[in-house]
Structure formats: C-alpha cells, structure tokens
C-alpha cells in the first residue's frame, strides 16, 4: 500500500473509531452486507455512460411532484424517473440520519469510512461517482425530495472535507421517493438507503 493511501486509510479508520465506534452499541456495529472487494467489483467502471444532466433531473422530479401531486399519489404506480441510473454499477449503503434532518448519526461513520476506503481503492481512483439520496414514502413528496438532496450533499461534503476525496470525483442528487429502491414496500427502511453509482472517469 502506498504511503498516501495508508494515511487516507488511517484517517478513515480513525474517524470511524472516534466518532462512530466508542459509543455505538454492539448491535449497531453490524457490517454492511458484502465484502469490501465485492463493493469494488460492483463499482467497476461502466463501458458506456449515459449523459446525466443532474440539474434537469432535479427539475424534472420537482415538476412531476407539482403536476401530479393529486393524480400520482400511489408510489407503486409511479414511473422510474431516472432509468439510466439503474443501468450503472452501484452499491447501496445504510446511512442513518437524524429524523427529518441531514445530520449523519454517529453509528454511520463506520459506513462512511468504508465508502471512503472504497473510493480510494487503486482500481477506482480514476472513476467518478454519483451519490443518490432517497427517502421512504412518508410525509410530503416535495419535502422528501429536498431532504434527500440535503442528505446526499452532506455525504458528499463529508467525503471531501473529512476523507479528502477530490470534489471532481463526486456529484450528489436527491430523488426523494421518486425512484424507490423497493417500490413494492414504499415505507420500508431500505428506501432510505444511499446509493453510490459509478458514472465514468474522473476529469
């Protein structure tokens, strides 16, 4: 392991230990499903990347909520709003936030450290990623859309400020409940997970 990578790996582990480890009950420290190598393999860069206009996608989500608030209330009947994202290499991470807030709970800093270590894996250093926030289908759809964006932005900020990941490698978007991870169970906790999606090569 190169000296620079050792330092970054050490930072990830130290932050996880200091912020997320000392006061976490043993049950809350269960590791995420899949090994670190499985995450890296799942995020191997795509051969072709769709043209992703995140600003347009945010606007599309907001307009759909505004136009279809009464006619499109059932999550099961909503069309996927960003089908291109489904085609890309991705993993889902269970990041816990304070209720109705974009504040990462201490028990999730271990997971953030794992994400950082994945981003620093030698085979992924030349890749860029999209952090996608989601919410369950409780509360107002427009609020959920805004909350998911704030949460995605917070994770990006932590990756950049705490783990020193290049901002050129990370983008963030919140899709609220407009693209559920489990549309058959709209209120299931899995729908609040955060996706890390490979979206091509870093500039």
- The residues spanned by each domain of the chain are 3-201
Cβ-in-10-Å burial (0-12, 13-18, 19+) of 86 comes to exposed
Residues 133 and 173: beta-carbon distance below 8 Å: yes
Instruction: Return the SS3 of 184.
Output: coil
What pLDDT is stored for residue 15 in this prediction? 45
Structure-token pair, residue 150: 């704030």
Q: How far apart are CA 154 and CA 156, in angstroms?
A: 5
Name the pTM for this structure.
Answer: 0.78
What pLDDT is stored for residue 110 in this prediction? 93
DSSP letter string, 46-101: PSS-----HHHHHHHHHHHHHHHTTT---GGGPPPS-GGGGGS-EEEE---B-TTS
Residues 112 and 104: beta-carbon distance below 8 Å: yes
198 bridge partner residues: 129
- Residues in the chain with pLDDT values less than 50: 3, 6-7, 9-33
The one-character DSSP state at 39 is H
What pLDDT digit, counting tens, does each position of 119-149 carry?
A: 999 999 999 999 999 988 888 889 999 999 9
Domain 3-201, CATH among 1.10.300.10, 3.30.1330.60, 1.20.1070.10, 3.30.70.260: 3.30.1330.60
What pLDDT is stored for residue 88 in this prediction? 92
Q: Residue 198: which of 54, 87, 34 has the closest Cα?
A: 87
């Amino acid at each position: 392991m190169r000296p620079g990578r050792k330092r970054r790996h050490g930072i990830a582990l130290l932050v996880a230990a200091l912020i997320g480890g000392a006061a976490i009950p043993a049950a809350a420290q269960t590791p995420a499903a899949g090994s670190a190598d499985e995450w890296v393999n799942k995020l191997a860069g795509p051969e072709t990347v769709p043209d992703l206009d995140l600003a347009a996608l945010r606007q599309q989500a907001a307009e759909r909520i505004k136009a279809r608030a009464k006619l499109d209330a059932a999550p099961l009947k909503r069309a996927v709003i960003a089908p291109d994202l489904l085609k890309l290499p991705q993993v889902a991470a269970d990041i816990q936030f304070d209720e109705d807030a974009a504040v990462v709970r201490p028990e999730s800093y271990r997971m953030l450290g794992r994400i950082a270590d994945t981003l620093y894996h030698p085979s992924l250093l030349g890749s860029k990623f999209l952090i996608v926030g989601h919410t369950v289908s409780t509360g107002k759809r427009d609020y959920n859309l805004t909350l998911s964006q704030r949460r995605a932005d917070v994770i990006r900020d932590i990756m950049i400020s705490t783990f020193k990941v290049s901002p050129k490698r990370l983008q963030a978007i919140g899709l609220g409940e407009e693209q559920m991870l489990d549309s058959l169970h709209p209120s299931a906790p899995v729908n609040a997970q955060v996706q890390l999606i490979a979206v091509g090569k870093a500039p």
